[in-house]
Amino acid sequence: MNLKTITSIIFLALLSVNTAYSQSPDPDFHIYIAFGQSNMEGFPGIEEQDKGYENDRFQVYASVDFPELERQKGTWYTASPPLCRPNSGLSPADYFGRTLVENLPENIKVGIVSVAVAGSKIELFQKDNFQEYASTAPGWMEGIIKTYDGNPYQYLIDRAKEAQKKGVIKGILLHQGESNTGDEEWPDKVRGIYNNIIKDLNLDASQVPLLAGELVHEDQEGACASMNKIIATLPEVITNSYVISSSGAPARRDHLHFTPEGYRILGTRYAVQMLKLMGYEQEEIKMPENVSVNK
């Protein structure tokens, strides 16, 4: 074997190694799945102080096309709102991510994959039963469901699998329940969805917590505040789950949706919980400049 042949073999071997390395998920890219109904979408309307976020350590995976923002489906972008769909608004996921990157080491990036459907019951995300519920959805909801190829759960899984090529899924964010108010089976339904996500994405449940936010609180005259008692039982059926308080988070006049300030507070609280799970002490956690929140 001559020197030229040996050199070619070494070059091809190194090229193969480099290609494999470049395609491997980055362990320092922490990805979070976000799903639910309108409060996870984010109610339309984004205040000036929330626009133009430029820290590229916080990324959003465009689950759909955002023509006006020149975002293409299947691509990562700096996570300035809206994160879910073009007509959505600020959501808990925004300040969840901003708070994480404010506190995590500079080598860590955070990514969000969001699929949410306004007004939907939790049944829409049940892997095997969603069709029965979707068939009864009102016309305005049908359009959103079609955006997700008629199956929001599978759409979320497919997007998450693409995201896994770039990073590692570290947690799941949920905000849903208004449309299931009074449904005592809701925790078990969520458990089924969580277990399916874990299985379908080949995750370790002990390493991937579920963070579920309360609905607009009774201290804000929440229209569905009674559901928070049911949401509070979620940790009884999902060991690695945590309920995020909405106490004191301002609501809009409909008493169903949070104001931008409410989303900032709630999203920051999601992040505080996640940081605690990572070993951060509460008093060590930094808050974003425009958020005043009791941790």
How many beta carbons lie within 10 A of that of residue 292, not counting itself? 12
Which of 94, 200, 254, 255 is flagged as catalytic? 254
| C-alpha to C-alpha distance for 183 and 163, rounded to whole angstroms | 33
Which of 30, 38, 120, 241 is flagged as catalytic? 38
| Residue 254 a catalytic site member | yes
Which of 63, 226, 257, 292 is flagged as catalytic? 257
| Residue 175 a catalytic site member | no
Cis peptide before 25, with omega less than 30 degrees from 0? no
Q: What is the DSSP letter of 288?
A: P
How many beta carbons lie within 10 A of that of residue 279, not counting itself? 7
| Residue 38 a catalytic site member | yes
Q: In terms of Cα–Cα distance, which of 156, 201, 204 is closest to 36? A: 156
At residue 155, φ and ψ (nearest 5 deg) are: -60, -45
What are the percentages of helix, strand and coil residues in the chain, rounded to 5?
45, 15, 40
Active site residues: 38, 254, 257
